[in-house]
Amino acid sequence: MKKIPFVTKEQVEEIVKTYPTPFHLYDEKGIRENAKAVKEAFAWNSGFREYFAVKANPNPYILKIMKDYDFGCDCSSYTELMLAKSCGFDGEHIMFSSNDTPAEEFAYANELGAIINLDDLTHVDFLEETIGHIPETISCRYNPGGVFELSNGIMDNPGDAKYGMTKEQLFTAFRLLKEKGAKKFGVHAFLASNTVTNEYYPKLAKQLFTLVAELHEQTGCEIAFVNLSGGVGIPYTPDKEPNDIRAIGEGVRKVYEEVLVPAGLGGIKIYAEMGRFMLGPYGGLVTKAIHEKHTYKEYIGVDACAANLMRPAIYGAYHHITVLGKEDEPCEYTYDVTGSLCENCDKFAVNRRLPKIEKGDYLFIHDAGAHGFAMGYNYNGKLRSAELLLQEDNSVKLIRRAETPQDYFATFDCFEDIKIER
């Protein structure tokens, strides 16, 4: 499927008059249409809720859009909890799916009344020691081990993942939690990342529904929800077809009716914790070509770097690039598109076929809305960019300012003998 940016060159030329490149830009219309489609796809389940994975895009303006659909937040750290609270999410709308969790984070999650999702059997006692009791509603994360396979092959390797409990541990945890006063239980699993197939959620759901029927029967615990977590992917490359969330919702409904309803468990709520699927395609990194270099290869140097979008540098991830204004020109040149970090992996694209790029051209780096800005860092003293929201009326709103040297040096402010001139 041809990838078309949600902005034009003319729009970007207007935006840069106020906000210089590089910047992350989000498409409010796209975000809202997708959120609505997610809600509709699971409307058959009256308790359905998406808990947006905050780590994918921890911006309060984005969280507030999610709130309009009665979605919640999936948090896994202290500051993510603070963000959720500040945006007005109550405990019922906060899922705390953490791992290797520090005591103070459990304490704060409990203070907010968040739903706590335990990553390990030992966390039952750890939580009880930390907060003095076991909450009435509690969730446990499951890891079946082995590999997770769909019809197109092995999708991921849960047996190698640090997350979740074995089946035996899960049963032990449920019995123990019940003894300690828990009344309502949830099961969570995240078994494959960025799955670009409509099969993932239904297959996962079938596995979890079968499991909770067994848990219910053997432990007598009341199962309140099944949390399908994240992993619903997006097509980063143009050759892939996007997931159809309606088909996914329908697939989950089928197995729900096949497994849970006959087991008398037709009241179980379906939860999701999607991040990438909710935001990925609706964000782009806009950057300007500032250099061209001809050595053993052809390089285009841009004003963004891996500090703004780390995925290509750390995973070799493909992010499609459109040269704005040259959407229909033939891709007759082969470039490496580089950032300025003193790291050779700082390349947004390697051997990429693109139209001829001139200095001053604006490049739109696609699918940066999730795990994009959020993974940013300050290596080489690079400053994180602004985030902008392209609103439904086509006006642009600054939703996070760019960092300044003041921000970068702020952690030295308490030292009397260090003064950095800014």
Chain positions contacting ligand PLP, by CB under 6 A: 53, 55-56, 74, 76, 97, 190, 193, 229-232, 273-277, 370
Q: Closest distance between ligand PLP and the C-beta of residue 93, in Å?
A: 15
Residue 189's H or E segment, with its range, is: none
Handedness of CA 144, 133, 137, 275 (dihedral sign): negative
Q: Other C-beta atoms within 10 Å of 263: how many? A: 16
Q: Closest distance between ligand PLP and the C-beta of residue 230, in Å?
A: 2
Which string of DSSP letters, residue by residue, matches 74-126? EE-SHHHHHHHHHTT--GGGEEEE-SS--HHHHHHHHHTTPEEEESSTHHHHH
Q: Closest distance between ligand PLP and the C-beta of residue 264, in Å?
A: 29
Name the residue nearer to ligand PLP (CB basis): 142 or 277.
277
Name the residue nearer to ligand PLP (CB basis): 135 or 231.
231
Nearest residue to ligand PLP, by Cβ distance, number only: 230
Name the residue nearer to ligand PLP (CB basis): 77 or 172.
77
Q: Closest distance between ligand PLP and the C-beta of residue 195, in Å?
A: 9
Name the residue nearer to ligand PLP (CB basis): 224 or 375.
375
Both tokens assigned to 250 = 């329908």
Residue 357 Cα distances to 51, 287, 326, 349, 354, angstroms: 41, 13, 9, 14, 8
Task: Sort 160 into a burial class: Cβ within 10 Å, 0-12 / 13-18 / 19+.
Answer: exposed
Name the residue nearer to ligand PLP (CB basis): 110 or 227.
227
Both tokens assigned to 117 = 């999702």
Name the residue nearer to ligand PLP (CB basis): 135 or 230.
230
Strands 222-227 and 148-150: unpaired
Q: Closest distance between ligand PLP and the C-beta of residue 193, in Å?
A: 6
Q: Closest distance between ligand PLP and the C-beta of residue 52, in Å?
A: 9
226: left (phi over 0), alpha (psi -120 to 50) or beta: beta
Name the residue nearer to ligand PLP (CB basis): 276 or 319.
276
- Is residue 128 helix, strand or coil? helix
Q: Closest distance between ligand PLP and the C-beta of residue 356, in Å?
A: 35
Q: Other C-beta atoms within 10 Å of 234: how many? A: 21
Name the residue nearer to ligand PLP (CB basis): 96 or 362.
96
Q: Closest distance between ligand PLP and the C-beta of residue 19, in Å?
A: 27
Calpha distance 68→86 (Å, rounded): 15
Task: Sort 264 into a burial class: Cβ within 10 Å, 0-12 / 13-18 / 19+.
Answer: exposed
Q: Closest distance between ligand PLP and the C-beta of residue 227, in Å?
A: 8
Name the residue nearer to ligand PLP (CB basis): 22 or 72.
72
Q: Other C-beta atoms within 10 Å of 238: how many? A: 11
Name the residue nearer to ligand PLP (CB basis): 243 or 308.
243
Q: Which residues pair with 226 in a beta bridge?
A: 187, 270
Nearest CA-CA partner of 407 in 398, 420, 417, 389: 420
Residue 392 Cα distances to 29, 129, 309, 409, angstroms: 5, 49, 25, 37
275: left (phi over 0), alpha (psi -120 to 50) or beta: alpha
Q: Closest distance between ligand PLP and the C-beta of residue 334, in Å?
A: 31
Both tokens assigned to 323 = 């040269």
Q: Closest distance between ligand PLP and the C-beta of residue 371, in Å?
A: 6
How far is residue 224 CA from its own chain's centroid? 24
Name the residue nearer to ligand PLP (CB basis): 231 or 281.
231
